Amino acid sequence: MTTDAQSGHSARRPGALAIHSLNTFNLTVPDLEEARQFYDSFGLDVREEGNALGLYAHGNPHRYGVLTEGKHKRLSHLSFGVYEDDLEPFRKHLEAKKVTFVDPLPGAESNGIWFLDHDGTPTEICVREKSMPDEKSSFEAISSPAGVRGVLGRSQAEVVRPRRLSHVLKFTSNVQKAIDFYSGVLGLRLSDRSGDGIAFMHGAHGSDHHLVAFALSEGPGFHHCAWDVSSVDEVGRGWMQMAGKGYTRGWGLGRHVLGSNYFYYCRDPWGSYSEYSADIDYVGATQEWDGGDYPDEDSIYMWGPDLFEDFIYNYELDNAG
Q: How far is CA 293 from the centre of its chain?
A: 21
In a domain, 141, yes or no: no
In a domain, 93, yes or no: yes
In a domain, 245, yes or no: yes
In a domain, 109, yes or no: yes
What's the domain range around 172?
21-133+162-319
**What's the pLDDT at 8?**
39
Alpha-carbon distances, residue 309 vs 18, 90, 275 (angstroms):
37, 41, 18
Alpha-carbon distances, residue 22 vs 9, 64, 103, 166, 219 (angstroms):
17, 8, 20, 9, 21
In a domain, 150, yes or no: no
Predicted confidence pLDDT, tens digits, the chain (321 residues): 333 333 334 679 999 999 999 999 999 999 999 999 999 999 999 999 999 999 999 999 999 999 999 999 999 999 999 999 999 999 999 999 999 999 999 878 777 999 999 999 999 999 999 999 999 999 999 889 999 988 888 888 899 999 999 999 999 999 999 999 999 999 999 999 999 999 999 999 999 999 999 999 999 999 999 999 999 999 999 999 999 999 999 999 999 999 999 999 999 999 999 999 999 999 999 999 999 999 998 998 999 999 999 999 999 999 876
**What's the pLDDT at 239?**
98
In a domain, 187, yes or no: yes
Do residues 223 and 216 touch, judged by C-beta distance below 8 A? no
49: domain CATH number is 3.10.180.10
In a domain, 151, yes or no: no
Report the alpha-carbon distance of residue 184 to residue 288 in Å, rounded: 17
CA neighbor of 50 nearest in space, from 59, 63, 39: 63
Split into its structural domains, the chain has a count of 1
Report the alpha-carbon distance of residue 196 to residue 215 in Å, rounded: 9
Q: How far is CA 298 from the centre of its chain?
A: 20
